[in-house]
Amino acid sequence: MASEAGLQVDYRPLAIQDPARWERVLGIAAFHIERSSVLATGNIPVADIRTPVLGSAGELCEIWRTRQPVESGQRARVQYRRGEDVLFGCISVPESDFQAPEASGGVSALQTATEQAYREIFATVDALACPHLLRIWNYLPQINLDTHGTERYRQFNNARRNAIAASGRELTGAVPAACALGSAPGSPLVIYFLASRATPAVVENPRQVSAYQYPPQYGPRPVFSRASVLREKSAATLFISGTASIVGHETLHVGDVVAQTRETLANIEALLAEANRVCAAVRFEMQALAYKVYVRHSADLPLIQAQLHAALGARARLLYLQADICRQDLLVEIEAIGQDTADSAA
Beta strand pairing call for 25-31 and 46-49: parallel
pLDDT for the residue 103:
45
Selecting among 95, 115, 204, 333, the annotated active-site residue is 333
- The model's confidence at residue 282, banded by pLDDT at 50, 70 and 90, is confident
* SS3 letters across 286-333: HHHCEEEEEECCHHHHHHHHHHHHHHHCCCCEEEEEECCECCCCCCEE
Task: Residue 31: name the closest of 62, 56, 2, 8 by CA.
Answer: 62
Q: What is the DSSP string of 128-140?
A: TT--EEEEEEEEE
- Count of other CB atoms within 10 angstroms of residue 300: 18
- Backbone φ and ψ for 41, nearest 5 degrees, come out as -80, -5
pLDDT tens digits for range 149-176: 999 999 999 999 999 999 999 999 999 9
- The model's confidence at residue 21, banded by pLDDT at 50, 70 and 90, is low
Judge whether 204 counts as a catalytic residue. no
pLDDT tens digits for range 88-135: 999 999 999 987 554 445 799 999 999 999 999 999 999 999 999 999
pLDDT tens digits for range 197-256: 999 999 999 999 999 999 999 999 999 999 999 998 778 999 999 999 999 999 999 999
Res 4 pLDDT > 50: no
Distance CA 87, CA 81 (A): 6
Domains and CATH numbers, the chain: 7-345 (3.30.1330.40)
User: Residue range 168-195: average pLDDT?
Assistant: 97
pLDDT for the residue 17:
56
CB burial readout 43-64, b (16+ within 10 A) else e: ebbbbbbbbebbbeeebbbbbb
Residues with Cβ within 8 Å of residue 60, at least 6 apart in sequence = 11, 12, 13, 31, 53, 319
Distance CA 83, CA 99 (A): 37
Task: Residue 179: name the closest of 22, 325, 66 by CA.
Answer: 325
CB 96 within 8 A of CB 113: no
